[in-house]
């Protein structure tokens, strides 16, 4: 009732604030109302939609969404692989069946991210994650070489050094038989890795360095999730009256200024080293191997040829930072949690690592990482059960006919890996941790859109090879040194689908040193 009252109070003011956006929203709602009658979904009321039913607790809200999808996609007589959800007066359609997901994600004309990314844009700008149209196409083409194998291999030393520091910090907690939440350790490790590979700057958050920036990035993610979940916060008066708006603006300024400062420093360093000159210069493979440039270095060398401003550089660096730390720490946390619950599979991972390294304490090299076949299966299986990014949004750029429903232009479509990732028709043991789902034979026999933790199609994650390499290196350090036991069974903890999937209470483990 309170939310309903707030909406009624703010509605006239909203019309004055952004009449163009309101007009667009209501045009979509008007055009979508009739066709959406064919799609099942939870009961909605005028103006507030289904929001009045939303659970306030994040865990309960996640479970509620899951129950709605399970019922309306598998039980309801109208089931059709889609679920409608009215967020206030704004319609959203969630797509569940792989063939429908393929239609959207493979399309070259349905590339625009949905409006729920607008809040992210206020932080990272119009970078690769949220841009669309010609700008996105040019940036994607420009940035693809920055994730080429020859560049990624130069980040290996950073993965290795930060992974070694991660297990060194955890060693203080080993053999105490006490519960340890490893999530803060993983987040600091991932933050150190992404900061050094993206900006060439050692953050050293694992040893207490630059915690202001680290904490700001973490808090921004929390605020964005609140904004995306509650439509009443979309209205500026409520956004700022809640004080979240002011906090968000302050943290955005802090993080953006940090990146701008690093850009200026890296430019000066490259000029002093004679790498950045008046002439356009593209690094040869030998130079890349010798100099080990970070992502920002490559952008600075592309700047003149691609007519990029310093703000363009900041957008892409902040995008890399935003996408690259929370997702990998979440993925590593869930993989550790599941392996801590399945000791047989953990033993297989350790047997594989023992075969590669023996009793040696040496650092893993690229050849070692390629041999971590079973560990990679375990990471992929944990991403099936717990995809780091639980939702992907698209705004239809033209009318689309799907399952006999005419979906109108500008309608928001939400795609979650959860439905196909857990569908019994695609997986031998859908609710179990079973790494052999990812043998070559099993993977080749599956629907190509039954598994897409890094999204898919033209807008798939450009950094997925980077992420997988990082996760393999860091987790190889962990399971070479320790045996872990999960305190709570998966998925017993409070898992919440924020921007990135995570447990509210962390990844609680008991850690024991291995004795070879």
pLDDT bin (cut points 50, 70, 90) of residue 489 is confident
- What mean pLDDT is predicted for residues 121-133? 91
CATH number of the CATH domain containing 446: 1.10.630.10
β-sheet bridge partners, residue 486: 509
pLDDT digits (tens, 9 = 90+) for 386-395: 999 988 889 9
pLDDT at 135: 92
Can you state the angle between helices 156-171 and 464-481, rounded to 10 degrees? 40
Q: Compute the distance between CA of residue 10 and CA of residue 43 in angstroms, rounded to an integer.
A: 23
Q: Are 197 and 155 in contact (CB under 8 A)?
A: yes
pLDDT at 262: 92
Q: Is 461 annotated in some ligand binding site?
A: yes
β-sheet bridge partners, residue 400: 407
pLDDT at residue 59 is higher than 70: yes
3-state secondary structure 302-362: HCCCCCCCHHHHHHHHHHHHHHHHHHHHHHHHHHHHHHHHCHHHHHHHHHHHHHHHCCCCC
Q: Are 91 and 31 in contact (CB under 8 A)?
A: no
pLDDT at residue 77 is higher than 60: yes
pLDDT at residue 279 is higher than 80: no
Burial status of residue 424 (CB atoms within 10 A of its CB: 0-12, 13-18, 19 or more): exposed
3-state secondary structure 160-175: HHHHHHHHHHHHCCCC
pLDDT bin (cut points 50, 70, 90) of residue 25 is low
- What mean pLDDT is predicted for residues 208-216? 83
Number of domains, the chain: 1
The parent domain of residue 172 ranges over: 2-513
pLDDT bin (cut points 50, 70, 90) of residue 427 is very high
DSSP code of residue 430: T
DSSP for 356-391?
HHTT--PPP-HHHHHT-HHHHHHHHHHHHHS-SS--
Q: Of 121-135, 195-209, 278-292, 293-307, which gets the smallest average pLDDT?
A: 278-292
pTM: 0.89
């Amino acid at each position: 009732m309170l939310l309903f009252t707030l909406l009624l109070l703010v509605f006239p003011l909203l019309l004055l604030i952004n009449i163009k956006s309101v007009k667009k929203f209501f045009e979509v709602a008007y055009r979508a109302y009739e066709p959406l009658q064919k799609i099942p979904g939870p009961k909605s009321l005028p103006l507030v939609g289904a929001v009045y039913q939303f659970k306030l607790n994040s865990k309960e809200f996640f479970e509620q969404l899951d129950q709605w999808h399970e019922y309306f996609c598998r039980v309801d007589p109208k089931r059709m692989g889609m679920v409608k959800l009215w967020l206030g007066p704004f319609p959203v359609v969630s797509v569940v069946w792989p063939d429908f997901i393929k239609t959207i994600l493979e399309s070259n004309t349905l590339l625009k991210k949905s409006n729920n990314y607008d809040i992210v844009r206020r932080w990272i700008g119009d970078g690769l994650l949220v841009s669309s149209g010609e700008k996105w196409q040019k940036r994607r083409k420009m940035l693809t070489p920055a994730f080429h194998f020859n560049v990624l291999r130069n980040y290996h030393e950073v993965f290795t050094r930060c992974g070694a520091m991660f297990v060194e910090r955890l060693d203080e907690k080993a053999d105490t038989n006490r519960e340890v939440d490893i999530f803060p350790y993983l987040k600091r490790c991932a933050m150190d890795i992404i900061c050094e590979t993206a900006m060439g700057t050692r953050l050293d958050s694992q040893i207490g360095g630059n915690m202001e920036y680290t904490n700001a990035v973490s808090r921004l993610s929390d605020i964005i999730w609140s904004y995306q979940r509650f439509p009443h916060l979309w209205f500026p008066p409520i956004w700022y009256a809640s004080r979240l708006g002011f906090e968000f603006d302050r943290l955005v300024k802090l993080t953006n200024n940090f990146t701008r400062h690093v850009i200026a420093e890296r430019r000066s360093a490259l000029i002093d080293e004679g790498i950045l000159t008046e002439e356009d210069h593209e690094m040869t493979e030998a130079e890349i191997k010798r100099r080990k440039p970070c992502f920002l270095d490559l952008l600075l060398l592309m700047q003149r040829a691609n007519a990029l401003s310093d703000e363009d550089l900041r957008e892409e660096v902040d995008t890399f930072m935003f996408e690259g730390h929370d997702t990998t720490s979440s993925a590593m946390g869930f993989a550790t949690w599941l392996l801590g619950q399945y000791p047989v599979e953990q033993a297989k991972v350790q047997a594989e690592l023992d075969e590669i390294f023996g009793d040696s304490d040496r650092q893993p090299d690229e050849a070692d990482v390629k041999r971590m076949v079973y560990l990679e299966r375990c990471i992929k299986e944990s991403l099936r059960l717990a995809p780091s990014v639980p939702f992907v949004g698209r705004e239809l750029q033209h009318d689309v006919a799907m399952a006999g429903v005419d979906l109108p232009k500008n309608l928001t479509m939400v795609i979650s890996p959860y439905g196909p990732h857990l569908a019994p028709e695609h997986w031998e043991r859908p609710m179990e941790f079973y790494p052999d789902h990812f043998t070559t034979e099993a993977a080749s026999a599956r629907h190509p859109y039954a598994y897409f933790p890094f999204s898919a199609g033209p807008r798939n994650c450009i950094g997925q090879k980077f992420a997988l390499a990082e996760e393999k290196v860091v987790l190889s350090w962990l399971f070479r040194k320790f045996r872990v036991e999960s305190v709570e069974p998966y998925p017993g903890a409070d898992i919440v689908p924020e921007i990135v999937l995570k447990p509210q209470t962390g990844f609680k483990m008991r850690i024991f040193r291995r004795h070879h």
